[in-house]
Structure 1
């Protein structure tokens, strides 16, 4: 079972990642600075900040180089939220924000809540599920007291609506998630996604994604003088060697050679 309350303490020269957000997640930055990208804009969370990540969204994140990153994550999964709503008969207030990452204003109740978690952590930085549900209920009561409109977010159990596939893919092509996930996020079955994709782009999703990412890579190297090692992860490639091979196959020149050619001009 995945821990629902976890403290992540790590030291690294650079920590970055990419995720599909499965469940609403509350977090507290104990130390360091984290930058989060949602496909539209960058959000910065610093030491002492509280935040909320919306489920069914895509995200990229990075943490400052040569810094110690310490963050507490609390997952508010759908099963827990349904039990909470039933127990407390919580009403629903309309929630109008479309942000993936939300800053929660600093508050003494939240500060004291985070402090109250300390005695419950085990050596792995997790809290036993016996206590985790009680502490999550406490957190949710605090959040709804501070921002009643969050009920419209937490207690909405619907799946993503069908949206404009072309606009979504042109905005999110750099996220390294599978085709099934893209289909889900656009409100389609896998078969419907592939059918609509072929109609719109006249190409299969996998081939289109590779070509789109490589085209962006060529632009960044040729026009922005970006190093291949600095961009391949951001463009959705898992390894530099895979990126370089695909790039050379597409353009008959390696990304390193293109960069060196630009630097000599």
Structure 2
């Protein structure tokens, strides 16, 4: 089912601009497509499709417009809301069936109907009127749990990341553009413990190591794969092309363009 009236909107507390999912997040694509990479696999959502992104995960994504338009509905289920919901409805909690970052949702006619029901509450600024935020979030949560009760095991797990192998995690996730504080949290460490353990393993500070690691990858992609700087700098965790070019030349003594044949 598609509704041409669907507009982009965001419901819930603000989320981090980093490539880090801090709270469980529902996404519905009204028009266009979105492709995300979680470090292990690539996922694509097209018009009329929807999913839940799990909290405490790293995701990098790109959007594609349809007829020069891109519309999405994003609903954030923050921990405070989830605890209130749990206390009010007391849903059964089953163990989650997988640890996937992107949780696929079964087709459910109630979901596009729910998205359509948001239209009268738009405030004209891409948000739902504050009075109705929790009401509409509760409605969606009830729909999701009725269709897939096993989601309760994901939504109502309020644990924090446990201490994991730092070397393995960083070598796998260095391309993600997130803060050192995020990396520390995701590896189950305080910031000070993370920095201490990091230096003991890599014999370097986290910031310097990240820049060097990303530049090494960039050098390989440009020299051996003949890729363009403009096509890779974002995927390697750099925020803008000029910063990437400056860091590259400082590290290697020549501009990345000099590697292109």
TM-score by length of 2: 0.91
Aligned to 1:128: 129
Structure-2 change in CA distance of 1:105 and 1:96 (3 Å): closer
* Higher strand content, 1 or 2: 1
Aligned to 1:59: 59
Please tell me whether the aligned partners of residues 53 and 102 of structure 2 are also in contact (alpha carbons under 8 angstroms): yes
The separation in 2 between residues aligned to 1:125 and 1:210, in whole angstroms, is 36
The runs of at least 4 consecutive aligned structure 1 residues that moved more than 4 Å come to: none
Q: Deviations over 1:92-130 (max 9, x none)?
A: 100031111122122111121111111111111211121
Aligned to 2:83: 82
- Trace 1:114-125 onto structure 2 (pairs within 5 A): 114-125=115-126
Structure 1: segments with no counterpart, 5+ residues: 1-5, 10-16
Aligned to 1:253: 254
The separation in 1 between residues aligned to 2:243 and 2:234, in whole angstroms, is 11
Aligned to 1:211: 212
Structure 2: segments with no counterpart, 5+ residues: 1-5, 10-16
Q: Deviations over 1:42-94 (max 9, x none)?
A: 10000010111111111111012674110001111100100000011222100
Taking only aligned residues, the RMSD between alpha carbons, in angstroms, comes to 1.6
Per-residue deviation at 1:151? 0.6
Please tell me whether the aligned partners of residues 7 and 126 of structure 1 are also in contact (alpha carbons under 8 angstroms): no
The separation in 1 between residues aligned to 2:68 and 2:52, in whole angstroms, is 22
The separation in 1 between residues aligned to 2:82 and 2:169, in whole angstroms, is 28
- Pair 1:202 & 2:203 matched: yes
Q: Deviations over 1:129-175 (max 9, x none)?
A: 21111111111111111111111111111111111111111111011
Aligned to 2:148: 147
Please tell me whether the aligned partners of residues 7 and 73 of structure 1 are also in contact (alpha carbons under 8 angstroms): no
The separation in 2 between residues aligned to 1:8 and 1:208, in whole angstroms, is 38
The separation in 1 between residues aligned to 2:127 and 2:245, in whole angstroms, is 40
- Trace 1:1-265 onto structure 2 (pairs within 5 A): 8=8, 18-64=18-64, 67-259=68-260, 263=261
Per-residue deviation at 1:7? 5.2
The separation in 1 between residues aligned to 2:68 and 2:40, in whole angstroms, is 26
The separation in 2 between residues aligned to 1:18 and 1:226, in whole angstroms, is 25
TM-score by length of 1: 0.90
Q: Deviations over 1:156-214 (max 9, x none)?
A: 11111111111111111011111111000100001110111111111111111011000
Give 3-state SS (helix, strand or coil) of 2:59's partner. strand
Structure-2 change in CA distance of 1:7 and 1:19 (3 Å): farther
Please tell me whether the aligned partners of residues 27 and 50 of structure 1 are also in contact (alpha carbons under 8 angstroms): yes
Aligned to 1:14: none
The separation in 1 between residues aligned to 2:28 and 2:235, in whole angstroms, is 25
Alignment length (residue pairs): 248
